[in-house]
Each structure stands twice: as C-alpha cells, then as structure tokens.
C-alpha cells in the first residue's frame, strides 16, 4: 500500500458510523458490513490520488457503497439463499402490515417493524432512504454517493417512502387525479 495517505484513514474513522450503517443496510448483515467497510478503507487508501476535491464524506461513502454492491452481486451468484430470504422478507412485511395495531403496542416493537420494512425494500430505495433519513445527507450529497442525477435521488426517495408508508400501515392520502 502506498504510504502517506493517512488522511484517508482519518476520513474513514471520522465517518465510520455512517459507512457502517450504510453497509449494514445495503448488505443486511453486520459481519458483512464490517468486512465491506474495511475493504472500502483499503480501496480508498489505494485510490487516494483520485480524490479530486469536493465532498470528502460523499467520496468515502461512494467507495463504501461500491464495495457493498460488489459483495451483493457476489452473493447473487448463490441465488437460492437470496431468493428464500427475499420471499421470507416479503411475507414478514405483509404480515406486519396486517398486525399493525398490535405491532404498535410498544415503541421497541415499532422500531423492529420499521427495520423489517426498510430491509424488505429494494436496495436502490433503501440506500437512498438510509442516506437521507438516517445519515441526514442532502439531495446533492446523496447524488454524489450514488453517482446518479438529483432527479433520480428524488424519485427513489419518493418511491421508497411510498412503499414504506404502505408497509408500515400508515394511511396514504389518495393520489390526485391526473398526477
């Protein structure tokens, strides 16, 4: 490894919680998340010379995300597990919507319900929501991390929220005619 890119280490450590959370939500698994973030740090240290200014946190989180997506696609090569898990999550999501009243009985339970609902979302909606709502990034910053236009960020957030709202059994305002 090239010495002298210690600033990357400082950057990674400074935004380690954000990186870990993003990885945990993308991968849905804590030990994979740790490994992906460590991979990302090594990659960032090697790629330090490619950093061309701008939002350093977004640069770092974009590398973390790419490492997570690489792991996801490696995982997809073993599809049986993934599919079984997907079916189970959708099932859980439907059931939690039915049991909504009961599930809201305690705050802790509500937390678990939203956790399941969020985990059941397609990854492109989930990651946008995690960056916006849990990490507090602006549209511009999210666009930098996901490497997509701001309009795409907006539509992913919007669709993700609508799916979550339904999944959590929060009443939806009827769509307007002509919208």
Partner 1 sequence: MDCSCARALIELYLDDELDREQAAALEAHVDGCADCRGALNGLGEVRRALRDESLRRPAPQALRDRIGADVQAQRPVRNSRARRSAPWMRYAAACLLAFGAGGISLQAWNRLHGTTERTQLARDLFASHWRALAANSPVDVVSSDRHTVKPWFAGRIAQSPPVRDLVEQGFPLVGGRLDYVGDSRVAVLVYRHGHHLIDVYMLPSPATGPVATTAQQGYTLEPITLDGQRAAIVTDMDLQELARFERLLRQ
User: Any contact of residue 101 with partner 1 (CB under 8 A)?
Assistant: no
E strand or H helix at 134: none
Angle, CA of 125, 83 and 69, to the nearest 5°: 45
Residue 32: which of 67, 77, 80 has the closest Cα?
67
Cβ atoms within 10 A of the Cβ of 52, count? 6
Give the binding range for partner 1 (CB under 8 A) out of 70-78, 82-90, 93-101, 160-168: 160-168
Q: According to CB under 8 A, which one of 13, 81, 87, 94 is a site residue for partner 1?
A: 13
Q: Which of residues 135-154 bind partner 1 (CB under 8 A)?
A: 135-136, 138-139, 154
- Contact with partner 1 (CB under 8 A) among 26, 27, 48, 131: 48
Measured in whole angstroms, how far is the alpha carbon of residue 62 from the centre of its chain? 11
d(CA 145, CA 158): 18
- In whole angstroms, give the CA distance from residue 23 to residue 81: 19
Site string for partner 1, 107-136 (x = CB under 8 A): xx-xxx-xx--x----------x--xxxxx
What is the smallest separation between the CB atom of 166 and partner 1, expressed in angstroms? Answer: 10
x/- site string to partner 1, residues 49 to 68, per CB under 8 A? Answer: x-xxxxxxx-----------
State the Cα–Cα distance between residues 114 and 174, nearest whole angstrom. 22
Q: Closer to partner 1 at the Cβ: 101 or 108? A: 108
Q: Residue 53 is inside which H or E element, if any? A: none
CA distance 133 to 147: 18
Footprint of partner 1 (CB under 8 A)? 1-7, 9-14, 16-17, 19-21, 24, 30, 34, 37-38, 41-42, 45, 48-49, 51-57, 107-108, 110-112, 114-115, 118, 129, 132-136, 138-139, 154, 157-158, 161, 164-165, 168, 170-174, 176, 178-179
């Amino acid at each position: 490894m090239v010495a002298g890119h210690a600033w990357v280490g400082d950057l990674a450590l400074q935004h380690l919680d954000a990186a870990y959370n993003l990885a945990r939500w993308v991968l849905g698994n804590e030990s994979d998340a740790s490994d992906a973030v460590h991979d990302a740090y090594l990659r960032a240290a090697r790629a330090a010379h490619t950093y061309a200014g701008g939002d350093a946190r977004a640069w770092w989180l974009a590398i973390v995300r790419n490492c997570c997506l690489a792991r996801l696609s490696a995982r997809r090569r073993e599809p049986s597990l993934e599919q079984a898990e997907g079916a189970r999550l959708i099932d859980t999501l439907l059931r939690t919507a039915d049991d909504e009243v009961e599930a809201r009985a305690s705050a802790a339970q509500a937390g678990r319900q939203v956790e399941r609902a969020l985990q059941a979302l397609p990854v492109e909606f989930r990651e946008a929501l995690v960056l916006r709502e849990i990490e507090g990034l602006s549209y511009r910053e999210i666009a930098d991390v996901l490497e997509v236009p701001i309009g795409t960020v907006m539509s992913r957030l919007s669709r993700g929220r609508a799916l979550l709202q339904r999944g959590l059994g929060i009443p939806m305002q009827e769509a307007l005619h002509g919208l």
